[in-house]
Structure 1
Amino acid sequence: MTPQQIARFCLELPGAREDIKWGSNRVFSVAGNKMFAILDFLDSGNGGLAFKVGPELFLGYVDRPGIRPAPYLARAFWIAMQRPYPMGDAELREALTRSHQLVVARLPKRQRLGLVLETP
């Protein structure tokens, strides 16, 4: 996926919005300010990507070549990667959706309405 495709995909997730923070980082969040992905992470527009993963998956991801703990966010189980992304398109979409849903799951019940995706 290209950075543009990632941005488009993130914005298709329920309740997602995009902001520019910390200079040139494209931050995707839900419920106002709850981040689930950051594009152009810690670099100047080169497509670096960071997102939240579950604690049970964190070590498995960071053991893979090209994936590392996200600086400043690793304690919250975020991973980071540079282009070319070391995940295929389908795996990346699934990981971004999971990141979104991890953040949604921590919202108060009244804020979760309409944001929870149905699992097949």
Structure 2
Amino acid sequence: MNIEQLRKYCLSFPGATEDIKWGADLCFCVGAKMFCVTGADSISGGMSIKCTPEKFDELIEREGIDPAAYVGRYKWVRIADLNAVTADELKALIEKSYQLVFDKLPPKVKKTIK
């Protein structure tokens, strides 16, 4: 997956938006809450996504995947080596990250999205 494929995939979710934060990070959000973060120009440096506690524990056992800086305690992982997951698994992880973030949004915000 390249940056354009990632952008297209992330923006295909209802209410998804993109924004550049911290100068060089491309953040995909729903309801103003992030669900995927990567480099602004390339995903070669990896990406960070939110996971379930069980998936978090499973993923950080793999080489090339670590708890994300600053947000690891909230079950975010940084996939530094994209070869650590298959393309289909990566899509499923991004979709789950979106769903986890969406599910935590206030009901008022959810109504405006669906």
Alignment TM-score, normalising by the size of structure 2: 0.88
Poorly superposed stretches of 4+, deviation over 3 Å: 44-47, 113-116
Work out the CA distance in 1 between the residues paired with 2:46 and 2:96: 19
Task: Determine the structure 2 residue equivalent to 1:7.
Answer: 7
Residue of structure 1 equivalent to 2:80? 82
Residues 1:18 and 2:25 aligned together: no
Identity over aligned pairs, percent: 35
The letter for the 2-side match of 1:88 is T
Q: 1:96 aligns with which of 82, 89, 94?
A: 94
Secondary structure of the residue aligned to 1:37 is strand
Unaligned runs of 5+ in 1: none
- Please tell me whether residue 48 in structure 1 is matched to residue 46 in structure 2: yes
Cα distance in 2 for partners of 1:18, 1:57 equals: 25
Counterpart of 1:113? 111
Amino acid at match of 1:21: K
Question: How many residues of Structure 1 are paired with residues of Structure 2 in the alignment?
Answer: 113
TM score, norm. by length of structure 1 = 0.84
Q: Which has the higher helix share?
A: 2
1-structure distance, mates of 2:14, 2:57: 28
The 3 A distance-change label for structure 1 pair 82 and 112 is: same
Partner residue, 2:71: 73
Give the aligned CA root-mean-square deviation in angstroms. Answer: 1.9
Q: Is the 8 A contact 1:47 1:82 kept in 2?
A: yes
Cα pair 2:65 2:81 within 8 Å, conserved: no
**Following TM superposition, by how much is the alpha carbon of 1:84 offset from its aligned partner in structure 2, in angstroms?**
3.7
**Unpaired runs of at least 5, structure 2:** none
